[in-house]
A and B are shown apart, each in its own frame.
Chain A
Amino acid sequence: MRILVIEDDAATADYIAKGLGEEGYVVDLARNGRDGLYLALNEPFDVIVSDRMLPGADGLAILRALRASGITTPVLMLTALSEVDRRVEGLEAGADDYLAKPFAFAELRARVRALARRPAPQAEVTELTVGDLRMDLLRRTVTRASRAVELLPTEFRLLEFMMRHPGQVLTRTLLLEKVWDFSFDPTTNVVDVHVSRVRRKLEAGGEPPMIRTVRGAGYILAPPGAEPG
């Protein structure tokens, strides 16, 4: 897995490069927009992590240039501004995800991983399977082994997202954003409540747990006994 990091702030760039390197990614660093765009246009990457404000060419300009040249590499945009409207602007320009600085490394890792594993667009998926857990997206039903699991709509959405990203650490912020469209952290433990409800329902028949809590980071859905990847 090869990742391009475009970031002008040396401390942040090294922090990201070191962290992702320890995760086993090959990291290329570009310190300004021009170099970043050059690298992105000429070499294959699995994920691009780009700052939004850059000397040379800014993050949005790079993004537009990439998309205009038909390069669909997933881009995670970093920004010092956490405003919603800026976020929308970035997503509209073709960013696949958006992360506000400063961020916990676990958050960045979770998002990079989600982007790197994003399957190429394929035929409509109608069923998701993780271990003995099956989700029928057409009938909106979930079964564990052969036991039917009754889920509320919001719980269904949560489980669907987790099943689309099995074995990955999903942070609370990521879940809030992707499942409920909350671009902020509520003071109440909204995510924990919903996850623990889904978890209880998945284990109601005495099955082994599938959702693990990663302390200080978030949650992982994986087949029982599987090591998180």
Chain B
Amino acid sequence: MPWLRSFAPRVALLVGAVVLVASFLGAGWGWLRAQEALRRQLDLVLAADAEGLLRDYETYGLRGLADAAAVYARRGGPLRVLLLAPNGHPIAGRLPGAPARLRGFATLPPQEGDSRLRALGAILPDGSNLIVATDLALVDRAAAALAWSPPIAGGLAALLALVLGFLVARRLERRLAGISTAARAVMAGDLTRRLPEGGSGDEFDRLAATINAMLARIEELVAEVRQVTDDVAHDLRSPLSRLRQRLEAALAQARGPEADAAVLEGAIADLDQILATFAALLRIARTEAGAGREGFAPVDLSTLVEGVAEVYAPVAEEAGRVLRAEVAPGQRLPGSAALLRQALANLLDNALGHGSGTIHVALRPGPVLTVADEGPGVPPEERERVLRRFYRLDRSRNTPGTGLGLALVAAVARLHGGRVALEEGPEGRGLGVTLDLRAGGASTGRGLPEAPAGTRQDP
């Protein structure tokens, strides 16, 4: 019975067993209680019958009572009557196994195939003893009938549970087989495969939906990794090829200490650039993998932004630009100061390298950090793409940089539970990059301003 290995029948079997045992225990106790109650009722009947006979005795005397007892005995009905003389000899009636003298209630043991008897004895004023008795078999049968119903119902319930368990198991088996098949297909490499959903919205559908969302995320990540691998291959091959050509050309030339030194210095500079790209890629990869979250510490973002702005203001000035910083005080969040500092530095590097005009750095309560410039900006259709690794606008291809700056900013934002949005700068000119860290800054729980228009909702 392979279906016995399934969950539902095993539960059904267990439930059935528990129900059976409980109903048998209940039956024993129920029998005792029912028997007791019925016997008490029987005692009342016996008392009423004895009352009637005593009235006969008062009216007709001992003779009348003996006649009545003889009538009962002859009739052989359920009520048995025995009248004993004061010396213990029976005067009338018949009651096998009766004691020589009885006062009050008693249960008499069964006599030769008969069942137990319930008896009530009364001593009459003249000393003779009236005993009335009746069969306890009826009471026993009724008690048994009452007591046996729970186990019978329990047995039926156990049987039903087993059948139900079997049915549920078959249904489970079918649902799980579908999930298992799909999972195997995913394992075999078909990342587009999804688990079947029945459409009923039950817990299996909900689980399947969750797992499907996970599979979608995995597919997305794998595609991203593939994309990055391609990008890395492409973006590192070109500088490496350039370096190789440079060295090859130098080798073909006549040796001269000065020329050689120049070539070698150039080669080292090229390699440094490649290494910088590698370092940036590694850092993005680790940041995206969520590494460093365990090292999160409270960061005073206001101080951090002020510090970085202070470092960059002279750089802007030297480039004939102006850097303006408006920093709301006391903005804190748990995070990585090193990564947040680098994210801001990347934004400022971008604004200095690719933008123009005044650079506006603003840290608003939330915390929401914005770096905006008044340069040519990024066309709306390109904004999503510049957040990707290595993506560079055509006009930026010849400016220095790895094409990884904004990708790191986006990764840092995600690591801190926030997001990045690209918009126009102030007055609709230039580029404004907003680092919305409010989700990460849960400590600042006061009334938060509405999200800026055009904010990208992360999936």
Contact = CB atoms under 8 A, between A and B. Distances in A.
A83 B283 contact: yes
A188 B279 contact: no
Contacts of A216: 265, 268
A185 B283 CA distance: 13
A194 interface: yes
B292 interface: yes
A186 B349 contact: yes
A102 B341 CA distance: 23
- Of B283, B315, B353, chain A has the most CB atoms within 10 Å of the CB of B315
A187 B405 contact: yes
A188 B310 contact: no
A180 B311 contact: yes
B292 A84 contact: yes
Interface in A56-111: 81-85, 88, 100, 102, 104
Nearest to B318: A193
A121 interface: no
Interface in B310-357: 310-312, 314-315, 318, 336-339, 341-342, 345-346, 348-349, 352-353
Contacts of B349: 186-188
Contact of A83 (B291, B312, B318): B291
Describe B's contact surface by its main secondary structure: helix
A206 interface: no
A184 B318 CA distance: 21
A154 interface: yes
Interface in A170-189: 180-189
A123 interface: no
A190 B315 contact: yes
A153 B310 contact: yes
A187 B292 contact: no
A152 B291 CA distance: 36
B171 interface: no
A152 B310 contact: yes
Nearest to B352: A188
Contacts of B401: 187
Contacts of A100: 279
A197 interface: yes
Contacts of A189: 315
B282 A82 contact: yes
Contact of B345 (A85, A182, A197): A182
B279 A194 contact: no
A54 to B, nearest CB: 21
Given A186-B345, A193-B318, A216-B265, A84 B279 contact: no
A188 B283 CA distance: 19
B32 to A, nearest CB: 73
Interface in A123-175: 152-154
Contact of A183 (B295, B315, B342, B352): B342
B282 A83 contact: yes
A189 B315 CA distance: 7
B310 A102 contact: no
A193 B336 CA distance: 27
Contacts of A186: 345-346, 348-349
Given A83-B286, A154-B311, A193-B314, A187 B342 contact: no
B314 to A, nearest CB: 5
B101 to A, nearest CB: 101
A197 B314 contact: yes
Contact of A154 (B279, B310, B337): B310
Contacts of A82: 279, 282-283
A193 B315 contact: yes
B447 interface: no
B276 interface: yes
Interface of A: 81-85, 88, 100, 102, 104, 152-154, 180-190, 193-194, 197, 216
Given A102-B275, A183-B342, 10 more contacts: A82-B283, A83-B291, A84-B336, A85-B295, A183-B338, A189-B315, A190-B311, A193-B315, A197-B314, A216-B268
5 contacts: A83-B291, A152-B310, A153-B310, A183-B342, A188-B352
A-B interface, 7 closest residue pairs, ranked by CB to CB distance from nearest: A84-B338, A85-B292, A187-B349, A193-B315, A82-B279, A193-B318, A184-B342
